[in-house]
Amino acid sequence: MTASTPGPDLLYSEAEDDLRAAVRALLADRCDPAIVLDGLESATGYDAGLWRALGTDIGTAGLLVPQAFGGAGASAREAAVVLEEVGRSVAPVPYLTSAVIAVTALLGCEGELPDVAALLTGLADGRTVAVLALPLPTAPGTAYPQRVRADAQGALSGRITSVADAAAAEVLLVPAEGPEGPALYAVDATADGVRHDPVTPLDLTRPLGHLTLEGAAGRPLATGERARAAVGRALLTGAGLLASEQLGVAEWCLAETVRYTAERKQFGRAVGSFQALKHRLAALWLDVASARAAARNAADALATDSPDAPVAVAVAQAYCAPVAVRAAEECIQLHGGIGMTWEHPAHLFLKRAKSDEIALGAPGRHRETLADLAALPAP
């Protein structure tokens, strides 16, 4: 970086702080841990009412959608703020999958196509939920998927496993191998030839499902390099902003553990006053502070379309994913016996952290990507 090149902006703007306050107030009112626990084993696995309140009433569903399609025309920085709060409350809503990944994929398609415009308009006001039909662990930089084949009439056949929030989706964005190469299609989730088989995930707040397509009618959105680039950008953006959700998980775990250890008495003293626990919590605070810098750097790089965005995303995922897991594990351990009970919400955060750790590429995969980008091959 030259002396004249501005560095990344890791601070929150006043508008971002206002957005955080609104989202946090809503989630505190509508997404208390007890409410999340009660709804974990519902048929859908997500809270449709909460999604309407968050996506439509507050308008977060359309943050990344341009104003021409009814959205806010905001950037990845604002979406990252929402995801921090979603992680902080383990909210069972399809924000990452629909408002981030699906929207980004559509923005990379031929915008003049009526289907693309209509989908973006529906996603902007939260009326429509769409998901990119790829396995949850699919990492940025993965070869274009060939799990689904399309014939000349746009009929799609194939099977896609472990699709996040498939049960919530009205529209599936399906990468496929078309007659002339890569293509991206829109498929109605209730169309003939579409079967959804739910699976039991570790994290019940982000349901998974297997999709089977048997001659399902697809509407072409992009072909060739444009389709490849749209899917690639969606995965990169999703991975980069997932770091903000992981940050939110880690922040809740740290704050809740500090609060509990300050109140829990042992031998006539708060257990948080013991030096061994002070050291563990201080080390965790440093990890979370560093994770915040990495997540904000990734969000800012995506927002400014920086050429260093792939590096920033790889760093954020390689660092933030293990921090979220470590914070959740410390939260459960330092809560003692109650941390292991179903009634205490700590297990929700551990499951979200572990699920996020493999979503959109495991940390090891991102470290390999970073080594390649930095021209540092493994020995």
Question: Residue 183 in contact with residue 177, Cβ under 8 Å?
Answer: yes
CA angle 100, 105, 106 (to 5 degrees): 100
Q: What is the pTM of this model?
A: 0.94
Q: Name the more confident of 81 and 113.
A: 81
Q: Counting every residue, how long is the chain?
A: 379
Candidate from 47-56, 90-99, 303-312, 346-355 with smallest mean pLDDT = 47-56
Element (H, E) at 330: helix 309-334
In tens, the pLDDT along 298-337 reads: 999 999 999 999 999 999 999 999 999 999 999 999 988 8
Least confident range of 39-43, 175-179, 219-223? 39-43
Mean pLDDT in residue range 341-361: 94
Which tens digits make up the pLDDT trace of 368-378?
999 999 888 76
Separation of alpha carbons 93 and 55, rounded Å: 9
Structure tokens at 268: 């006539």
Structure confidence at residue 111 (pLDDT): 65
Phi, psi of 90, rounded to the nearest 5 degrees: 40, 50
Using CA atoms, how far apart are residues 280 and 325, in angstroms rounded to an integer? 15
What was the pLDDT predicted at 112?
A: 58
Instruction: Give, for 101, the enclosing helix (H) or strand (E).
Output: none
State the pLDDT at residue 233: 97
Contact in structure between 167 and 207 (CB atoms under 8 Å): yes
H-helix or E-strand spanning residue 373 = helix 363-373
Q: 217 by DSSP, 3-state: which?
A: strand
The rounded distance, in Å, linking the Cα atoms of 352 and 379 is: 34
DSSP per-residue letters across 221-290: EEEHHHHHHHHHHHHHHHHHHHHHHHHHHHHHHHHHHHHHHHH-EETTEEGGGSHHHHHHHHHHHHHHHH
Task: Tell the burial category of 286 from Cβ atoms under 10 Å away from its Cβ (0-12, 13-18, 19+).
Answer: exposed
Contact 240, 313 (CB under 8 A): yes
For residue 40, the model assigns a pLDDT of 76
DSSP-derived secondary structure for 149-193: EE-TT-EEEEEEEEEETGGG-SEEEEEEEETTEEEEEEEETTSTT
Q: How much is the mean pLDDT over the chain?
A: 91
Residue 245 pLDDT exceeds 60 = yes
Question: Half-sphere exposure of residue 125, counting CA atoms within 13 Å on the CB side?
Answer: 8
- What pLDDT score was predicted for residue 31? 87
Q: What percent of the chain has pLDDT over 90?
A: 75
Report pLDDT for 39.
Answer: 77
**Percent of the chain predicted with pLDDT > 70:** 95
Contact (CB, 8 A) for 323 and 288: yes
Mean per-residue pLDDT, 134-155: 92
Find the mean pLDDT for residues 353-367: 96
What does the pLDDT read at residue 23? 96
Token code pair at residue 213:
């397509």
pLDDT at res. 220: 92
Predicted confidence at residue 44, as pLDDT, reads: 61
Stretch 163-182: mean pLDDT: 93
The pLDDT value given to residue 278: 86
Per-residue pLDDT at 158 exceeds 90: yes
Q: What is the dihedral of CA 43, 44, 45, 49, to 10 degrees?
A: -120
Q: Name the band, by pLDDT with cuts 50, 70 and 90, for residue 356.
A: very high
Say if residue 321 is exposed, middle or buried (CB neighbours under 10 Å; 0-12, 13-18, 19+).
Answer: buried
pLDDT at 87: 96
Angstrom CA distances, 133 to 38, 195, 325, stand at 28, 13, 26
In this predicted structure, the answer to whether residue 275 has a pLDDT above a threshold of 70 is yes
Tokens 């920086």: give the residue: 306
Rounded CA gap, 327 and 319, in Å? 13
* Strand, helix or coil for residue 131: strand
